[in-house]
């Protein structure tokens, strides 16, 4: 019996989304137009934050955040090992060093205690602390805020998994100095490629916009040299072309209307998984939280059976994934930094038994049952 392949995540696109993109295709502006700002405003209103700056990817948004935080050669940024490499890479793009610190086993996110120890023993100045709200679990920021203030660092939350997550009665995005979201198709809403930095600081927002567009300023008052006339512009620092298009922004704006429903459905699927898999000794379920956004549903099985379970599920057409290979296990990080296997036991232990089960809004209950039945068959042989 062959059944459709069930991916671990996928986008949900309806006719309204398609129509929104078509309208931009027929308009004067494919990029650099008014739809980008409209999308930024929609996200700002939803999150309850003053400034949102859209980028061509979540990775570009992270790079920009590290840049405007002042990260440069000789600086360190605290990053958990259990994340997508982009979190650490964004530090390296700026010439900085990712200062890895272990996760806490009860949140699967950066441990404030491990961060404190890492900062205490760092020979480099720490410019930022960058916790990741792994899987959509909104990691508590209080401890990191105190640490950051103590060393004059900024708090940058990688919330690529956590659009719509909430803690302390507030949306993720309101508390850190800068918060990063991704709009890759597996994330909560999509613009195909895309990302955003969210901040309460006007100064950071202005700098983020400049970095997004080559480091060029156009307003006379922003020039650092003589202003020649209305044709003039001045590139006052290195920047990139990291702009999001109007096409992508139209899709994002339309997707935002469905975010509430997407979140409800993700939470419902997580509840089903918990109900069907709870109490089994072979499977450890991820930590729960009332404001969890459930980008992922990461379970843990004994390291000795992970490979078998993973391959069994894949061969049954279920697109399980592993999130993530610890950052310091990647060849690039082995070659360029002095971390060793064993340095971050919590992240390494979790990663070695982790399996991400499919979770996305258009999954049916039958899909959930199929995942659970296949998983139970795999762990019980």
Ligand X SMILES: *Cc1c(COP(=O)(O)O)cnc(C)c1O
Q: Can you tell me the distance from the alpha carbon of 160 to that of 289, in angstroms, rounded to the nearest whole number?
A: 17
Inter-residue contact 69 to 96 (CB < 8 Å): no
- Cβ neighbourhood burial of 62 (10 Å; 0-12, 13-18, 19+): buried
Q: Which is nearer to ligand X, 153 or 244 (CB)?
A: 244
Q: Which is nearer to ligand X, 84 or 312 (CB)?
A: 84
Q: Which is nearer to ligand X, 133 or 374 (CB)?
A: 133
User: Partners of 248 in the beta sheet?
Assistant: none
Task: Read off the tokens for 164.
Answer: 């719509």
Q: Which is nearer to ligand X, 99 or 296 (CB)?
A: 296
> Please, what is the minimum distance in Å from the beta carbon of residue 304 to ligand X?
27
Q: Which is nearer to ligand X, 156 or 346 (CB)?
A: 156
> Please, what is the minimum distance in Å from the beta carbon of residue 292 to ligand X?
15
Strands (DSSP E) along the chain, which ranges? 51-55, 76-79, 97-100, 126-129, 154-158, 166-167, 170-171, 178-182, 195-199, 216-217, 234-235, 297-300, 354-357
> Please, what is the minimum distance in Å from the beta carbon of residue 315 to ligand X?
26
Q: Which is nearer to ligand X, 189 or 283 (CB)?
A: 189
> Please, what is the minimum distance in Å from the beta carbon of residue 59 to ligand X?
3
Residues that bind ligand X (CB under 6 A): 57-59, 62, 83-84, 86-87, 132, 158, 160-161, 182, 184, 195
**b or e along 171-208 (b: 16 or more beta carbons within 10 Å of the residue's beta carbon)?**
bbbbbbbbbbbbbbbbbbbbbbbbbbbbbbeeebbebb
> Please, what is the minimum distance in Å from the beta carbon of residue 107 to ligand X?
15
Q: Can you tell me the distance from the alpha carbon of 35 to that of 251, in angstroms, rounded to the nearest whole number?
A: 10
> Please, what is the minimum distance in Å from the beta carbon of residue 219 to ligand X?
30
**b or e along 105-121 (b: 16 or more beta carbons within 10 Å of the residue's beta carbon)?**
eebbbbbbebbbebbee
CB nearest ligand X: which residue?
A: 58
């Amino acid at each position: 019996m062959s059944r459709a392949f069930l991916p671990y995540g996928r986008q949900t696109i309806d006719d309204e989304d398609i129509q929104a993109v078509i309208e931009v295709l027929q308009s004067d502006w494919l990029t650099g137009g008014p739809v980008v700002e409209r999308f930024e405003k929609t996200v700002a209103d939803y999150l309850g934050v003053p400034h949102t700056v859209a980028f061509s990817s979540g990775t570009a948004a992270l790079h920009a955040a590290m840049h405007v935080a002042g990260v440069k050669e000789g600086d360190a940024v605290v990053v958990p090992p259990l994340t997508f490499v982009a979190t650490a890479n964004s530090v390296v793009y700026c010439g900085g060093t990712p200062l890895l610190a272990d996760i806490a086993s009860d949140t699967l996110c950066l441990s404030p205690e491990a961060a404190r120890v890492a900062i205490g023993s760092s020979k480099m100045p720490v410019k930022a602390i960058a916790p990741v709200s792994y899987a959509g679990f909104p990691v508590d920021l209080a401890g990191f805020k105190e640490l950051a203030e103590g060393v004059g660092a900024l708090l940058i939350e990688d919330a690529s998994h956590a659009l719509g997550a909430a803690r302390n009665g507030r949306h993720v995005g309101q508390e850190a100095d800068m918060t990063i979201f991704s709009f890759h198709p597996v994330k909560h809403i999509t613009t195909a490629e895309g990302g955003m930095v969210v901040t309460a600081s006007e100064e950071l927002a202005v700098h983020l916009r400049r970095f997004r567009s080559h480091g060029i300023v156009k307003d006379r008052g922003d020039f650092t040299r003589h202003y020649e006339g209305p044709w003039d512009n001045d590139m006052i620092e290195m920047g990139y072309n990291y702009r999001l298009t109007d096409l992508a922004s139209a899709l994002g704006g339309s997707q935002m209307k469905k975010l509430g429903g997407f979140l409800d459905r993700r939470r419902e699927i997580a509840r089903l998984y918990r109900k069907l898999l709870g109490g089994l000794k072979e499977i450890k379920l991820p930590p729960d939280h009332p404001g969890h956004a459930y980008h992922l549903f990461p379970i843990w099985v004994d390291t000795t059976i992970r490979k078998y379970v993973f391959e069994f599920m894949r061969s049954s057409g279920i697109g399980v994934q592993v999130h993530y290979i610890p950052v310091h296990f990647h060849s690039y990080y082995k070659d360029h930094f002095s971390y060793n296997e064993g340095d971050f036991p919590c992240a390494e232990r979790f990663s070695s038994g982790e399996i991400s089960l499919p979770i996305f809004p258009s999954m049916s209950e039958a899909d959930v049952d199929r995942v659970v039945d296949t998983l139970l068959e795999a762990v019980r042989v």
